[in-house]
């Protein structure tokens, strides 16, 4: 029986570790290409269930987490319909919301707003500097951010805020939180 427990603990660790790794991938993808593929959001949303079940979260609490993701998806869809955020941002926000849960949704959204403001400020400053420092435009990873008509990669804010909130999630093993806090 002890070997089964070890295997389940390893599986839980891998599934839980996938969350910050996939969020980091989405952040980099949005920053580099202004695009967030669907697969990281889908995997993040699906991975919560085994993480929750292996982490001792009851089924009702897990359902509330999925309800949180659904509520964020609905709110994000309204913002998308108004042209305020992209479709990848909506899916990433909803997937992160599943892991964050209802209890921590307010601090999470506050962090998203703060990081979003910081990202917007950085991009706007880079655009102003590009006129004075043409060498900025030669950096391939930065070039698309200097186009004044281009939007702000808001997935960066969504993903960074999710990574910051990661250790508050109900499915993160408690020994992990002790290591970092």
Q: Report yes or no on whether pTM surpasses 0.85.
A: yes
- Euclidean distance between CA atoms 98 and 72, whole angstroms: 9
Q: Write down how long the chain is.
A: 181
d(CA 105, CA 158): 12
Q: What per-residue confidence (pLDDT) applies to 133?
A: 78
d(CA 17, CA 46): 14
10-residue averages of pLDDT along the chain (181 residues): 89 95 97 94 98 94 97 97 95 98 97 97 85 76 73 95 93 73 53
- 61 CA to centre of own chain: 21
* Residue 23 exposure: Cα atoms within 13 Å on the Cβ side: 26
pLDDT given for residue 70 in this prediction: 98
The CA–CA distances, whole Å, from 27 to 17, 41, 59, 88, 105 equal 16, 12, 30, 11, 20
State the pLDDT at residue 25. Answer: 98
């Amino acid at each position: 029986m002890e070997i089964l427990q070890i295997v389940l603990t390893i599986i839980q660790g891998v599934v839980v570790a996938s969350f910050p790794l996939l969020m980091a991938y989405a952040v980099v993808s949005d920053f580099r290409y202004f695009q967030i593929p669907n697969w990281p959001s889908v995997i993040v949303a699906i991975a919560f269930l085994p993480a929750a079940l292996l982490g001792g979260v009851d089924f009702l609490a897990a359902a509330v987490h999925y309800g949180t993701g659904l509520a964020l998806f609905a709110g994000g869809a309204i913002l998308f319909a108004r042209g305020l955020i992209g479709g990848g941002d909506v899916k990433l926000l909803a997937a992160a919301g599943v892991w964050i849960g209802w209890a921590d949704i307010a601090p999470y959204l506050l962090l998203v707003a703060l990081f979003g403001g910081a990202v917007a400020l950085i991009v706007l400053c880079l655009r102003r500097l590009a006129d004075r420092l043409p060498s900025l435009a030669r950096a391939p990873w930065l070039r698309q951010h200097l186009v004044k008509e281009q939007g702000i990669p808001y997935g960066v804010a969504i993903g960074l805020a999710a990574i910051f909130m990661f250790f508050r999630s109900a499915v993160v093993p408690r020994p992990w939180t002790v290591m970092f806090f």
